[in-house]
Structure 1
């Protein structure tokens, strides 16, 4: 199979894209359930409840069902993208619309995985990149929904970056190590400076860990570009949301999605960005 993929890269890209679609379907489960699992665990801890919440509700149990009417989802109704199109975006039982985010997550995961396969080719490093993409997609959606970047996703992403770069796949280990340190400390310092100046918290600790993970993947050299791009994108989209949709100015905007998007852009297009945008040429 490996030889086939090396001889015919198109097969590898196609298989990677299909794999991404399937993983995207599972990521929808993670995005929906993981915050609820964590909230139940935190509530149990504060209540000194020894009940094992994970056995009652986890990523595998109960089986997939409609969140509106609880009708079980049959296997043929759970095919990535295809089922959503066949069902015309509605539950077969209650006819309630299926949120557009479900096919969007599947499509984004499939396209990003296929693009990584095309960009990097066959080999062990691309498998690590697949994993990073899948985690980042989940983090983006969870942070948008719940203002939460779970440690159970950010910390494995960080360790995966350090392990990959212990083999020198994306940068040298020294750059990766100090990238993790600098990524965490830079936002930690901004957090405290902002809090001391305003008395408010401008971001969460999950953002520190996410930037640390991106630093572990790409090295400390990539951090200024990631921070600048994420800030520009966040400011632009935030203003756009206020102007177009009338978003409440007082409502907080999650920063994690912008960090994740900026990280993906820098990972794949760093050289192009430096050449195309003079502002980044000296970073």
Structure 2
């Protein structure tokens, strides 16, 4: 259980934040945005609470990303398929390299699986921005933690940081900014 924020409060904050954007964007993209948001919220909350990305969540994110490509222009399909293949391989290489160099895991395999779905939803090139934004967000939170030395939610109050929530929020933001077009 989370120390500073209860799980229901965390879920409510996610739903309100993502839901407000859904209401604003409206239009035909709202159904796919709703599916994407629900999956990202589920994955983010579980990872923040347990340091674990659910296999079913990562699988459904990848499957829905593939379904979203149905009927898209071939250039879009190729970009998104490449995103779903190359980004997980890059994350796996980073995780493996870190494990070999340091002797312990620094990036979980759940993040690798998550990148498959994010790559399929956002595409190869837009996922570059997802990773950049997520990394910067993580650095800012760690910096704030170091400055304040106050108690933050469990996912941010230990030497480990749940990276999934940063990836999920960044994917949502980048996708809404135009990766879905």
Q: State the Cα distance separating 1:100 from its structure 2 match.
A: 5.0
Partners of 1:250 and 1:132 in 2: CA distance: 29
Q: Residues 118 and 202 of structure 1: is their aligned pair in 2 closer, same or farther, counting only changes over 3 Å?
A: same
Tell me which structure has the larger Cα radius of gyration. 1
Partners of 2:160 and 2:72 in 1: CA distance: 38
1:166 counterpart (63, 70, 73): 70
Identify the structure with the greater helix proportion: 2
Partners of 2:25 and 2:150 in 1: CA distance: 39
Q: Residues 252 and 111 of structure 1: is their aligned pair in 2 closer, same or farther, counting only changes over 3 Å?
A: closer
2:175 counterpart (267, 277, 280): 267
Q: State the Cα distance separating 1:178 from its structure 2 match.
A: 0.9
Deviations 1:206-260 (CA, angstroms, capped at 9, x unpaired): 1011111111011101121111111111011012123323569862111111111
Q: Which runs of 5+ in 2 are unaligned?
A: none
Deviations 1:22-79 (CA, angstroms, capped at 9, x unpaired): xxxxxxxxxx8xxxxxxxxxxxxxxxxxxxxxxxxxxxxxxxxxxxxxxxxxxxxxxx
1:253 aligns with 2:161: yes
Partners of 1:104 and 1:194 in 2: CA distance: 30
Please give the secondary structure, in 1, of the residue aligned with 2:19: helix
Q: Which runs of 5+ in 1 are unaligned?
A: 1-31, 33-98, 272-283
Partners of 1:229 and 1:270 in 2: CA distance: 15
Partners of 2:33 and 2:158 in 1: CA distance: 36
Tell me if structure 1 keeps the 8 A contact 2:83–2:116. yes
2:14 counterpart (93, 108, 112): 108
TM-score, length of structure 1 as denominator length: 0.55
Tell me if structure 1 keeps the 8 A contact 2:7–2:49. no
- Name the structure 2 match of 1:221: 125
Matched pairs, number: 171
Q: State the Cα distance separating 1:117 from its structure 2 match.
A: 3.9
Alignment of 1:205-244 (within 5 A): 205-244=109-148
Alignment of 1:104-183 (within 5 A): 104-121=10-27, 123=28, 125-168=29-72, 172-183=76-87
Partners of 1:103 and 1:223 in 2: CA distance: 29
